[in-house]
Amino acid sequence: METMTAAASMKFPREPANYDEISMQQSMLFSDSLKDLKNLRKQLYSAAEYFELSYTNDDQKHVVVNTLKDYAIKALVNTVDHLGSVTFKVNDLLDENIAEVSGTELRVSCLEQRLRTCHEYINREGLSQQSLVINTPNYHKRYILPVGETMNGGLRTKSKYEGCSVDKGDEWHQFRSAIRATIHEAPPSIASKGLSSSPTPRLVQQPGNFAFSKSMPKKDLERRTVSPHRFPLLRSGSLTRKPTTPKSSRPTTPNQSRPTTPNPSSGRQPFISDPRKSASMRIRVGKESPKEFEQFPSKSKRLLKALLSRRKSKKDDTLYTYLDEY
Amino acid sequence: MARAGGITNAVNVGIAVQADWENREFISHVSLNVRRLFDFLVQFESTTKNKLSSLNEKLDTLERRLEMLEVQVSNATSNPALFTST
Neighbours of A4 (CB within 10 A): 19
Question: Comparing B67 with A167, which gets the higher pLDDT?
Answer: B67
User: What is the phi-psi region of residue A153: left when phi exceeds 0, alpha when psi lies from -120 to 50, beta otherwise?
Assistant: left
From first to last of the 86 residues of chain B, give the pLDDT tens digit.
566 777 888 888 998 899 889 889 988 988 998 899 899 989 999 999 998 999 999 899 999 988 988 888 888 788 777 665 54
- The pLDDT of A159-164, averaged and rounded, is 46
Q: Report residue A150's pLDDT band, with 50, 70 and 90 as the boundaries.
A: low
Q: Report residue A82's pLDDT band, with 50, 70 and 90 as the boundaries.
A: confident
Flag whether residue B43 sits within 8 Å of chain A, measured between CB atoms: no
User: Is the distance from CB of A64 to CB of A15 less than 8 angstroms?
Assistant: no
| DSSP secondary structure string for all residues of A10-26 | PPPP----SHHHHHHHH
pLDDT the model gives residue A275: 43
Neighbours of A320 (CB within 10 A): 26
User: Is the distance from CB of A246 to CB of A150 less than 8 angstroms?
Assistant: no
Give CA A308 to chain center in angstroms.
47
Flag whether residue B84 sits within 8 Å of chain A, measured between CB atoms: no
Average of per-residue pLDDT values in chain A: 64
CA nearest neighbour of A74 among A134, A128, A4 = A4
- The pLDDT of A213-218, averaged and rounded, is 47
Q: Report residue A93's pLDDT band, with 50, 70 and 90 as the boundaries.
A: confident
Question: Comparing A26 with A148, which gets the higher pLDDT?
Answer: A26
Residue A262 predicted with pLDDT over 50? no
Flag whether residue B42 sits within 8 Å of chain A, measured between CB atoms: no
pLDDT the model gives residue A257: 43
Q: How many CB pairs under 8 A join A and B?
A: 55
**Which of A114-123, A248-257, A311-320 is predicted least confidently?**
A248-257
Residue A279 predicted with pLDDT over 70? no
Q: Which of residues 33-72 of A touch B (CB under 8 A)?
A: 65, 69, 72
Tell if the CB–CB gap between B34 and A76 is shorter than 8 Å: yes
Tell if the CB–CB gap between B69 and A108 is shorter than 8 Å: yes
**Which residues does A97 contact at the CB level (< 8 Å), separation at least 6?**
B55
Residues from chain B that touch A115, judged by Cβ atoms under 8 A, are 69, 72-73
Give CA A290 to chain center in angstroms.
25
pLDDT, one tens digit per residue, over A26-79 is 788 888 878 888 888 888 899 889 988 988 888 888 888 889 889 988 888 888
| Rounded-to-integer distance, Cα A127 and Cα B79, Å | 19
| Rounded-to-integer distance, Cα A320 and Cα A313, Å | 12
- The pLDDT of A139-166, averaged and rounded, is 54
Q: Please report, for chain A, the start and end positions of each structural domain, with discontinuous segments joined by +.
A: 2-133, 141-324
Percent of chain A with pLDDT over 70: 40
| Rounded-to-integer distance, Cα B46 and Cα A310, Å | 104
CA nearest neighbour of A35 among A1, A85, A94 = A85
ipTM for the whole complex:
0.80
pLDDT, one tens digit per residue, over A98-141 is 899 999 999 999 988 988 898 899 899 888 888 877 666 677 76
Minimum distance, in Å, between the CA of residue A46 and any CA atom of chain B = 18
Across the interface, of B34, B44, B55, the residue whose CB is closest to A98 is B55
Tell if the CB–CB gap between B62 and A108 is shorter than 8 Å: yes
| Rounded-to-integer distance, Cα A259 and Cα A237, Å | 8
pLDDT the model gives residue A133: 74
User: What is the phi-psi region of residue A263: left when phi exceeds 0, alpha when psi lies from -120 to 50, beta otherwise?
Assistant: beta
Question: Comparing A215 with A101, which gets the higher pLDDT?
Answer: A101
pLDDT the model gives residue A38: 85
pLDDT the model gives residue A308: 77
